Amino acid sequence: MYVKVYERLWCSVSVLVGAVLAVFAFVPGAWRTGILLLVFAVWGIWVFMIILRPRIAWRRAQRNFLGRRRSTGDGQARFRAEETMVKHVNYRISARLHSAYPDASWEWETKDPARLIVRGGKGRLLLHGVPDYNYAEVDLRPNGCMECSLLRVVPVPSEHDLKEETPRADEQFNPQVWFEIQGRQVLEELIADLDSRGHNSLIMNEDGSVTVEGEFDDKAVPAFTSFPSKVHWPQTVRVLESEGYAADVDGEAIRVTW
């Protein structure tokens, strides 16, 4: 770089000498002093650009390089500090979980745990090896305390899942309870009326309606607001028999005789 600077400097001196000789040769005496001052001023600016501009640019590049190096070093140091801080908190969380679940392992569900640890707040953990729980919530408080709560997160059941669970709810249906709440009163009223008019049987349909031969034009009429499903009919028959009625499953209905 310095060789090129000296070459340009000697070149500028040659140009200056040529310009001065030209002024003395062609410029009259009245204008000569002003023109010479102008020539030397231009030459001085040129020399300044040749000598100092590369040095200024080099100094600027050096400062930028040192600044980037310093910022990179600070960033790496900050990253190492955050990493160490996260590890300390990880050990505290693991110790808390292992006190109750020795086989527990976990991972951060929160995207930036270092930011959470610095600012405080609640973060989510994904658990492994913890029966009945799949998540944990960690509350990191500004005073240094830490609270850990176990969570069980399950998806909201879809309409299809609810339909599949309907038979399970139906399996819990108790015909004896149905008879005590609704069946006894309805049957007693129907049988009292039908028996007084010479009937001795009726048919209970799956939809809760009742059919009586020779009554209502042999059409089914509503009677029960709810009725046991077919899977409970054998038990319903036993309940009716225990109450003194003769009952049996007749195809798609239950026939009751008295």
| 201, 215 Cβ separation under 8 angstroms | no
As a whole number, mean pLDDT of residues 229-252 equals: 90
How crowded is residue 254: how many other Cβ atoms within 10 Å of its Cβ?
22
Domain carrying residue 35? 2-74
| 211, 253 Cβ separation under 8 angstroms | yes
Based on the domain organization, do 117 and 164 belong to the same domain? no
Based on the domain organization, do 70 and 121 belong to the same domain? no
Based on the domain organization, do 194 and 138 belong to the same domain? no
What's the pTM value of the predicted model, to 2 decimals? 0.37
Per-residue pLDDT of 164-216, as tens digits, reads 555 444 556 788 888 988 889 999 998 888 888 888 899 999 899 999 887 77
Based on the domain organization, do 191 and 131 belong to the same domain? no
Find, among 61, 56, 4, the residue nearest to 12 by Cα.
4
Tokens of 151: 């969570």
Question: Rounded distance, CA 107 to CA 159, Å?
Answer: 33
Domain assignment of residue 44, yes or no: yes
Domain assignment of residue 92, yes or no: no
Coil, helix or strand at residue 225: coil
Tokens of 118: 């610095």
| pLDDT the model gives residue 123 | 93
Domain assignment of residue 95, yes or no: no
As a whole number, mean pLDDT of residues 116-132 equals: 90
Based on the domain organization, do 184 and 237 belong to the same domain? yes
Domain assignment of residue 89, yes or no: no
Report how many domains make up the chain. Answer: 3
Based on the domain organization, do 164 and 253 belong to the same domain? yes
- Mean pLDDT, all residues of the chain: 82
Q: If 0-12 CB within 10 Å is exposed, 13-18 middle and 19+ buried, where does residue 210 land?
A: buried
| Phi then psi dihedrals of residue 135, to 5 deg | -140, 160
For residue 155, name the pLDDT band (cuts at 50, 70, 90).
confident
As a whole number, mean pLDDT of residues 221-232 equals: 88
Share of the chain above pLDDT 90, in %: 22
Based on the domain organization, do 170 and 250 belong to the same domain? yes
Per-residue pLDDT of 16-68, as tens digits, reads 788 788 877 777 777 778 888 888 888 788 777 766 666 677 777 777 776 66
| Phi then psi dihedrals of residue 121, to 5 deg | 135, -165
Domain assignment of residue 85, yes or no: no
Q: How far is CA 39 from CA 36, 53, 116, 128, in A?
A: 5, 21, 68, 85
Domain assignment of residue 218, yes or no: yes
Based on the domain organization, do 115 and 146 belong to the same domain? yes
Domain assignment of residue 79, yes or no: no
Based on the domain organization, do 149 and 166 belong to the same domain? no
